Structure 1
Amino acid sequence: MEKVVIVTGANSGIGLALCERLLTEDSQLRLCLACRNMQRAEAARSALLTSHPAALVELLHLDVGSVQSVLSAAEEIRTKYSRIDFLYLNAGIMPNPAVDIGAFFKGLFSRNVINMFATAEGLLTQQDRLTSDGLQEVFATNLFGHFLLIRELEPLLCQPGRTSRIVWTSSSNASRSAFSIQDIQHINGKESYSSSKYASDMLSLALNRHKNSQGLFSSVTCPGLVMTNLTYGILPSFFWTLIMPVMWMIRIFTNTFTLTPYNGAEALHWLFLQKPESLDPRAKYHSLTSGLGTNYTEARQMDVDDETSEELFSKLLELEKAVCRKAKQRNAESKAYQQYLGEVE
């Protein structure tokens, strides 16, 4: 029976590289590219079909930063598919990242240079903003939208006698120090990306605790330092022209510089081949590349605890009720208005 695989953020970078690798592994997949930009999604689909002409590649419009988009996409998925085998939660943003140039050059000529590039610790800040749903954009896109999608798709993910998989694209930038359980949306902080990725690590742990008995298993990956559109947007292009030779040279001394989307998708692809029962729910599976260019996956323990992850899970359930109630109210008002216009005409 063909596997049904949905990948969010699949139109470029790690998501597109993953799709290419999955189709190479199993050409019988039913692959769904869930993307915000449908023009880029069409281009990605064309590229995949060029190398895999017989593949079944479908498109779905999904903006995980929008509650209404998530609800609409989930409804379409429930109509189209009878089950989901793999749900790759790869979409994410780091809006308007700013670099402390002084800290960058100071770190460039220090012993901390490898860690600085690998994690961007102490180097980046982001300017967050509110969505039309009244949520912090990074939180909504990197975490809550995906949580809401999972909740809406539970009938397809949790089926008797079957196992389904959720795989998160996290980051080495995920940090306990950036996260506050009293401020899960990171309204008062300056490390929204790091906070959202740490929250996804904790949510994965909670999902395993609540859903393994129903056949749903969640895993977390880290792609390493990958050069994607998100990464290139951090610094002006001329900086990358100067830095890239240094980065390739540094890779000789560290395995976290995966650099290419293909390499960064290593752990995501590796998990596709594993039995879920054999995986560690407290591990983050890292994509690594040796200095000679060999790709491999390594499990590293996450800095997470049951109590905080359970509290986060509860807070997300409460927020889900509130935002879904508002979304249904807006839909009802919109339908009433359309009906009114029809009567006037």
Structure 2
Amino acid sequence: MNKVVIITGANSGIGLALCERLLTEDSALQLCLACRNLRRAQAARSALLTSHPQAQVDLLQMDTSCISSVIEAAHEVKLRYNRLDYLYLNAGIMPNPQFDVKAFFKGLFSSNVVTMFANGEGILTQKDGVSPDGLQEVFATNLFGHFLLVRELEPLLCHTDRSSQVIWTSSSNAHRSAFNLADVQHCAGTQPYSSSKYASDLLSLALNSHFNHQGLYSSVICPGFVMTNLTYGILPSFPAFLWTLHMPLFWLIRMFTNTFTLTPYNGAEALFWLFQQKPESLDPQAKYHSLTSGLGNNYTRPHKMDIDLDTSEALYEKLLQLETKVRKEMKESKKSFPVGSQKPCRT
């Protein structure tokens, strides 16, 4: 039976590169691109069908920052498919990134210069917004919307006679120091992106604790430093051609660190590698890193995450409580679940 794969945020960057690699590996799989912007998703689908004309590529409109959008999309998935083998949780945002120029130049002359380039530690902060449902936007988009999607798709993901994989695109910018269990939405901080990515690491561990016995396995990857729209957004006034001019410098840096994957194809290495693995053999406390050598060779390597089971379980319980709260609020405001007259979200 053909495998069913859903990828959120699949219309560009790492998500689109993964689609291309998966279809090259297995042209018979059923691939579903779950994207907020349907027009861009249609363009991505056309590009994939140009190189793989016999492929089955479906589109699903979904905005992970909007609860009603996630619920409606999950309902549509359950109508379309009777199984789900891979769920890639790749969609994410880093809104209004602020680049600390002073910290950057200070870091250039420190022993942490390579680390600074690799994960942006100490030089990037963000100003968060609020989602249509009153949640912190980064939290909703990067974490909670995906959590709800997994919860809604449990009937397709959980089977004792076969395994399924949930795979999170995390980041090297996922730092314990940015995460606060008492403020899971990161309302009071300046690093919502880092917090949301660290939370996804924790949540992955919790999903394994709760669902491995039902055949659902969760893994986390880090794509490395990749040139995507998210990267370009760090310096919004920095013209794209100047990023291109800096590529020789990045290639030089890659001679000293294997985390500079640079291209979406390279960044998707760990995502693709996990597609080829037996999930039962994977380490639930490892983050699988996409790496590229100075000569341009791609490979995947696991690194232990800075997480613990107690904190992951506490986060899981908090998310369950928030889920109950938002569902109750939607019902009380006469917004039917799972489909109906929900207020519109962004397209």
Sort the TM-score into its range (normalised by shorter chain). Answer: over 0.9
Distance in structure 1 (CA, Å) of the matches to 2:87 and 2:9: 12
**Map of 1:159 onto structure 2:** 159
**Map of 1:193 onto structure 2:** 193
Query: Kindly tell me: are residues 240 and 104 of structure 1, through their superposed partners in 2, closer, same or farther at Cα, counting changes over 3 Å?
Result: farther
Report the AA paired with residue 304 of structure 1.
I
* Contact preservation (8 Å) 1:67, 1:327: no
* Contact preservation (8 Å) 2:160, 2:213: no
Distance in structure 2 (CA, Å) of the matches to 1:309 and 1:253: 34
Distance in structure 1 (CA, Å) of the matches to 2:124 and 2:38: 30
Identify which of 272, 288, 293 aligns with 1:290: 293
Identify which of 264, 267, 279 aligns with 2:267: 264
Question: 1:142-157 alignment to 2 at 5 Å?
Answer: 142-157=142-157
* Segment of structure 1 superposing worse, 193-202 or 244-253: 244-253
Report the AA paired with residue 62 of structure 2.
L
**Map of 1:126 onto structure 2:** 126
**Map of 1:40 onto structure 2:** 40
2:244 matched to 1:244?
A: no
* Contact preservation (8 Å) 1:92, 1:141: yes
Question: 1:89-238 alignment to 2 at 5 Å?
Answer: 89-235=89-235, 236-238=237-239
Report the AA paired with residue 34 of structure 1.
A
Distance in structure 2 (CA, Å) of the matches to 1:108 and 1:232: 20
**Map of 2:344 onto structure 1:** none
* Contact preservation (8 Å) 2:270, 2:300: yes
Superposition deviation, residue 102 in structure 1:
1.5
> What CA deviation, in whole Å up to 9, does each residue of 1:151-183 have, x standing for no partner?
000001112312110000000000001001100
**Map of 1:320 onto structure 2:** 323
* Segment of structure 1 superposing worse, 129-138 or 234-243: 234-243
> What CA deviation, in whole Å up to 9, does each residue of 1:234-259 have, x standing for no partner?
11324525533211110111100000
Distance in structure 1 (CA, Å) of the matches to 2:160 and 2:174: 34
Report the AA paired with residue 132 of structure 2.
S
**Map of 1:27 onto structure 2:** 27
Distance in structure 2 (CA, Å) of the matches to 1:193 and 1:89: 15
> What CA deviation, in whole Å up to 9, does each residue of 1:260-301 have, x standing for no partner?
000000000000000011100000000000000000000000
Where does structure 1 lack aligned partners over 5 or more consecutive residues?
339-345
Report the AA paired with residue 253 of structure 2.
I
**Map of 2:13 onto structure 1:** 13
Distance in structure 1 (CA, Å) of the matches to 2:126 and 2:27: 39
Query: Kindly tell me: are residues 332 and 200 of structure 1, through their superposed partners in 2, closer, same or farther at Cα, counting changes over 3 Å?
Result: closer
* Contact preservation (8 Å) 1:219, 1:284: yes
> What CA deviation, in whole Å up to 9, does each residue of 1:103-149 have, x standing for no partner?
12222344322111111001011010111211100000000000000
Bigger-Rg structure (1/2): 1
Where does structure 2 lack aligned partners over 5 or more consecutive residues?
342-347
Query: Kindly tell me: are residues 138 and 294 of structure 1, through their superposed partners in 2, closer, same or farther at Cα, counting changes over 3 Å?
Result: same
Query: Kindly tell me: are residues 254 and 333 of structure 1, through their superposed partners in 2, closer, same or farther at Cα, counting changes over 3 Å?
Result: closer
Distance in structure 2 (CA, Å) of the matches to 1:45 and 1:241: 26
> What CA deviation, in whole Å up to 9, does each residue of 1:33-75 have, x standing for no partner?
0000111100000010011000000000000000000001011
RMSD of aligned residue pairs (Cα, Å): 1.5
Distance in structure 2 (CA, Å) of the matches to 1:318 and 1:181: 13
2:312 matched to 1:329?
A: no
Q: Secondary structure at the match of 1:150?
A: helix
Query: Kindly tell me: are residues 333 and 225 of structure 1, through their superposed partners in 2, closer, same or farther at Cα, counting changes over 3 Å?
Result: closer
Distance in structure 1 (CA, Å) of the matches to 2:331 and 2:290: 40
Aligned residue-pair number: 336
Q: Secondary structure at the match of 2:199?
A: helix
The TM-score, its normalising length taken from structure 1, stands at 0.95
Distance in structure 2 (CA, Å) of the matches to 1:287 and 1:333: 41
* Contact preservation (8 Å) 1:206, 1:313: yes
> What CA deviation, in whole Å up to 9, does each residue of 1:185-218 have, x standing for no partner?
0011111000000000000000000000000000
Q: Secondary structure at the match of 1:253?
A: coil
Calculate percent identity across the aligned residue pairs.
69
Q: Secondary structure at the match of 2:27?
A: coil
Superposition deviation, residue 101 in structure 1:
1.2
Report the AA paired with residue 306 of structure 1.
L
Query: Kindly tell me: are residues 22 and 331 of structure 1, through their superposed partners in 2, closer, same or farther at Cα, counting changes over 3 Å?
Result: farther
Q: Secondary structure at the match of 1:115?
A: helix
Distance in structure 2 (CA, Å) of the matches to 1:277 and 1:217: 7
